[in-house]
Amino acid sequence: MFEILGYILAGCFLGIISGILPGIHINLLSILLTKYVPNADINIAACIIAMGIVHSFVDFIPSICFGVPQEDNYLSVLPGHRYFLKGQAYKAIMLTVTGGLFGIILGLLFLPLFFSIGTKFFYEIRKYLAYVLIGTIFMMVFSEKENKKFWAMLIVALSGFLGFLILRNGSSENGIFAAITGFFGISTLLESISTNSCTKKQIITEFSFRKFDAIKSPILSIIGGSIVALIPGLGSNQAAFLIREIQGKIKTSNYLMMIGGINAVNLMLSFFALYSIGKGRSGPALVIQNLIHLNSDQILLIIATVLIAASFGVFITILISKKLLNALNEVDYKKLNIGILIFIIFLTIVLCNWHELIIAGTATSIGILTIKTKVKRSLCMAFLIVPITLFYITLL
């Protein structure tokens, strides 16, 4: 038992590294673990699960503090970064942590329902998804004010076309990274630097939350996380976007709690989906799928790993965010943004080939256009929603 606890703790520490450092992804670390650790078996699977869960908590820190999005949380960047600029980054991070923890707890309680109803409706849900996504695209555009509808349509068209080019030959992981970096990272940083946006001093006060919000947001995140865990092609951000559009107005605090929950629940359920539908719906789950064949006894091991890793994720996120935010108060924000921008551009150049650099440049331009025309930044999500919609239309 102590051996597997060691693997779980090792996974937790790897989750910190992948969560904090942009460009180092849990998919990459999962593959490296199976390649370089001999006799990989259920212990490595537990390590990967723990890494994924901790990553889902910690990766909100760079997105909220530095405006640096990662693949699975870029829709948190914008509301989260707004909190940062108001000096309330700690509150934003704690909202995502609360959503993640309660999402996992409620997700585990709803697990029998996920196994029975979720898998039965697996193929049914897919039939109607194209209609939902088409409706979402219309809602995205026509919810804008009259004078902005044209720009909204243009941005959806440009982003959607870019996404189609990226994904038409199969998923290009670095292409998606380049696009997200351009849409939500480089454009945000350039705007921050050019407008000399300044941030208030970060205040770390004791966080408090309403019991009702701590239940409501995780319930929404279980719905979103279940859909993402079962349906290929949909990510946490798309699920959060769909739920927000269907739900209507949602407070920023509840939105951050929900997205924190969706991130954690999606990853957790992707491991359970391995057992229920035999398919992995996340990178780490796919790696585990090739590693071992899960049986019913090992479900207990997954539950134990998720709970231990979630607890670790909460404590480590609180610790890191407090230390980091105190350090950030001593730093010139403009110089920090310039430093982060240089780092992200360097990372993009290192990781991407020349096609993907063009994608990043194009996405940055569209991102800047979105900011200047003051339409919803989430319109850029059309880069994933449009190709996915086309994919599901072909299934009809």
Among 210, 251, 355, 374, the residue binding another protein under the rule CB under 8 A is 210
Among 314, 375, 381, 388, the residue binding another protein under the rule CB under 8 A is 314
Closest to 202 measured CA to CA, from 103, 307, 331: 331
Judged by DSSP in three states, 31 sits in helix
Neighbours of 368 (CB within 10 A): 18
Task: Indicate the residue among 294 and 385 with the shorter CB distance to another protein.
Answer: 294
| 8 A C-beta contact, residue 374 and residue 148 | yes
| 8 A C-beta contact, residue 157 and residue 146 | no
Closest to 81 measured CA to CA, from 188, 177, 237: 188
Among 137, 178, 250, 308, the residue binding another protein under the rule CB under 8 A is 308
d(CA 294, CA 314): 27
d(CA 69, CA 236): 13
Closest CB 150 distance from another protein, rounded Å? 44
- For residue 308, what are the contacts with CB-CB under 8 A and spacing of at least 6? 5, 8, 12, 50
293 binds another protein, rule: CB under 8 A: yes
Among 36, 39, 201, 395, the residue binding another protein under the rule CB under 8 A is 39
Residue type, 234: L
CA-based torsion, 85, 86, 89, 95: positive or negative? negative
User: To 5 degrees, how large is the angle CA 207–CA 212–CA 217?
Assistant: 85
Closest to 207 measured CA to CA, from 57, 322, 44: 322
Task: Indicate the residue among 209 and 391 with the shorter CB distance to another protein.
Answer: 209
Among 10, 33, 61, 101, the residue binding another protein under the rule CB under 8 A is 101
* Integer-rounded Cα radius of gyration of the chain: 20
Number of residues that bind another protein (CB under 8 A): 39
| 8 A C-beta contact, residue 166 and residue 390 | no
Mark 103-122 with x for binding to another protein (rule: CB under 8 A) and - for no binding.
Answer: -xx-----------------
211 binds another protein, rule: CB under 8 A: yes
Among 85, 154, 219, 291, the residue binding another protein under the rule CB under 8 A is 291
Closest CB 232 distance from another protein, rounded Å? 22
d(CA 164, CA 168): 6
End-to-end Cα spacing for the chain? 49
20 binds another protein, rule: CB under 8 A: no
Closest CB 368 distance from another protein, rounded Å? 38
44 binds another protein, rule: CB under 8 A: no
Task: Indicate the residue among 196 and 208 with the shorter CB distance to another protein.
Answer: 208
Which range binds another protein by CB under 8 A, 94-102, 240-248, 269-277, 388-396?
Answer: 94-102
98 binds another protein, rule: CB under 8 A: yes
272 binds another protein, rule: CB under 8 A: no
Which range binds another protein by CB under 8 A, 37-45, 77-85, 345-353, 382-390?
Answer: 37-45
277 binds another protein, rule: CB under 8 A: no
Among 170, 208, 249, 350, the residue binding another protein under the rule CB under 8 A is 208
Binding site for another protein (CB under 8 A): 1, 4-5, 39, 41-42, 94, 97-98, 101, 104-105, 206-211, 214, 290-293, 295, 297, 300-301, 303-308, 310-312, 314-315, 318
